Structure 1
Amino acid sequence: MTENEFKKWMAGEGLALSSISTRISDLRRVERHFGDLDTAYDKDGCATIFEKLSYTAADQTAGKPNPSGIEIEGSLYEGLSGYKSSLAAYVRFRNSETEGSDTGILTRAAVLAAIRECKELGTGTFLNKHKFRRPRTYWIAENETFYPCKAIANVALRAVEGADTQIRDATRSRELISRLGFRVVDSLDERLDPAEFERLKQRFLSKFSDFERLGFGASEGGYFDEERGYKDALLEKDRRRWKIVPCPNKN
């Protein structure tokens, strides 16, 4: 932990000396338990530590055990919330060194974690789970897949700052996500990158070299042999079984 610079940053943020001392004390204890905070920040934005410090009032009511392993006297919820708040301040400080203080504690690692969740659940389920609507604008383009920008930004931020945190403005979420190095497209129409489309087209044609000459409706050639022929045979079998008369070709 770069303690002296962090103290200067907190003083510049207007924190009282007592609050600065409390945060330094909290983070020293967190660091003794989890290791160097700067190493943790460089690894995943301290996301792993935040996860270990996450504990809700409902968890306390349910009698759930301490997830952090740090010995705490008194209220487990209040103690872990204090450590988490101090760690959030340190991450904001580290972010401010390169990204500007208004970025908050949103980190690339937290965004990638939210993207992984969205990929695993599927976009619709992910949006329903976190109570977001499907956006008409702003999608994150990552590994040839697209993810809802505002929902991803909010889920990532909540993971480290708590359930009450919210980025209400879609444009603001786009700005923050873009600052972290992600490509964000402005509309659904932009999701199909012309260059990417051309690459996929050439990949298809390299596999079915006679497709441009023969076309989709051909009854021969590489595409017909591999992709269409057996499907036509199955359809014809079902037509005969159910005595379905195919529609005449108007062309």
Structure 2
Amino acid sequence: MQREEFKNWLVNDYKNGEGMSEGSADNRISNAQKVENIFGDFDELYDQNRLEDILDLLKYSVDDETSCKELPKGLQIDGNKYDGMATLRQAVKRYLEFKKFKSK
């Protein structure tokens, strides 16, 4: 992951230049790092398939939570699994947006 560049993009360029607070950016990066630590380097995975496999692994519905579906191997979420997986998915999506922004 291009951590510093990603943070700079989140703070300054995200949402067409609106950006987000440093604290929010740090939270997104922390969530992305959690996923990257389990599944591998985001930049390599982006080059392989635009992070699609990771996004597929992070799909988790309310029905999945109700039926106590297991999380992908290596992931642990304390609390509501549906919300936790959505948070991790959003972090990956933000990194995907960052990579697309850089390729313009």
Tell whether the structures are fold-level matches, with TM greater than 0.5. Answer: yes
Q: Does 1:40 align with 2:55?
A: no
Percent of aligned positions that are identical = 32
What secondary structure sits across from 2:4 in the alignment? helix
**TM-aligned CA deviation for residue 62 of structure 1:** 2.1
Question: Post-superposition, which runs of at least 4 consecutive aligned residues in structure 1 deviate over 4 A?
Answer: none
- Which one-letter code corresponds to 1:61 in the other structure? T
Counterpart in 1 of 2:6?
6
Counterpart in 1 of 2:30?
25
Provide the aligned C-alpha RMSD in A.
1.2
- Which one-letter code corresponds to 2:10 in the other structure? M
Counterpart in 1 of 2:96?
91
Counterpart in 2 of 1:78?
83
**TM-aligned CA deviation for residue 2 of structure 1:** 0.5
What secondary structure sits across from 2:27 in the alignment? helix
**TM-aligned CA deviation for residue 33 of structure 1:** 0.3
Aligned length: 99
Q: TM-score, normalised by structure 2?
A: 0.89
Distance 1:68 1:95, change over 3 A: farther
Counterpart Cα distance in 1 of 2:21 and 2:73: 28
Q: Is the 8 A contact 1:30 1:83 kept in 2?
A: yes
Distance 1:68 1:22, change over 3 A: farther
Counterpart Cα distance in 2 of 1:75 and 1:51: 19
Q: Structure 2: which 5+ runs fail to align?
A: none
Counterpart Cα distance in 1 of 2:69 and 2:49: 26
**TM-aligned CA deviation for residue 27 of structure 1:** 1.2
Q: Does 1:51 align with 2:82?
A: no
Where is the strand percentage greater, Structure 1 or Structure 2? 1
- Which one-letter code corresponds to 1:9 in the other structure? W
Q: TM-score, normalised by structure 1?
A: 0.38
Counterpart Cα distance in 1 of 2:59 and 2:46: 17
Counterpart in 2 of 1:175?
none
Aligned ranges 1:1-251 → 2 under 5 Å:
1-12=1-12, 13=14, 14-67=19-72, 69-99=74-104
Q: Structure 1: which 5+ runs fail to align?
A: 100-251
- Which one-letter code corresponds to 1:2 in the other structure? Q
Distance 1:68 1:92, change over 3 A: farther
Counterpart Cα distance in 2 of 1:58 and 1:18: 32
**TM-aligned CA deviation for residue 98 of structure 1:** 1.5
